[in-house]
Amino acid sequence: MTRIITRVIDCWIFRRTPDGLRFLIMKRASERIYAGIYHCVHGKILPGEMAWETALREMSEETGLSPVRFWVADFTSSFYEAAEDRMNLVPVFAAEVEKELVKIGQEHESYDWLSLEDAVEQVSWENHKRALRAIARMMQKGFEAKKWLEIQLNES
């Protein structure tokens, strides 16, 4: 029987600019799985880690960035792995940053800050397109439910 599992997260990083939101899109390194694919911060949940903690850890490891605000996205991704006969439910997070400079990790070879329209065009998977649109909608004025989705960050 097909298993349903949560083992990875997606975290979409964005900045606010005078021209609107800009999303961080990264290109996977050529020697990695999914080589050449453009996507977000993505990573495995470690034992004892909460999904949102994974998102913050992976964000730091893959980009060197820290969020000024952080939300559970109003969207959950999913995908099927035939080799393992498992369905993956993927928690999705949105991280607002102020810094533009990214310290690219070994998993990626390049990055860009793109408008919603350009980011949706650049990513490959439909779930990524949906996540970007959901996060952009959340960040619009008037989306009052956003306050219940925000994860308060401890300032250290």
CATH number at residue 61: 3.90.79.10
Question: What is residue 73's DSSP assignment?
Answer: E
Please name the residue that has the structure tokens 């992976």: 58
In a domain, 154, yes or no: no
Q: What is the pLDDT of residue 40?
A: 96
In a domain, 30, yes or no: yes
Bridge-partner residues for 112, per DSSP? 25
Number of domains in the chain: 1
Q: What is the pLDDT of residue 156?
A: 52
The domain in which residue 126 lies consists of 3-149
- With beta carbons less than 8 A apart as the criterion, state whether 39 and 26 touch: yes
Q: What is the pLDDT of residue 147?
A: 86
In a domain, 66, yes or no: yes
**If the chain, 156 residues long, is cut into consecutive pieces of 10 residues, what is the mean pLDDT of each piece?**
96 97 93 82 97 97 96 95 96 97 90 98 95 95 85 79
Q: What is the pLDDT of residue 155?
A: 62
Where does residue 46 fall: left (phi above 0), alpha (psi -120 to 50 degrees), or beta otherwise? beta
In a domain, 49, yes or no: yes
- With beta carbons less than 8 A apart as the criterion, state whether 20 and 115 touch: yes
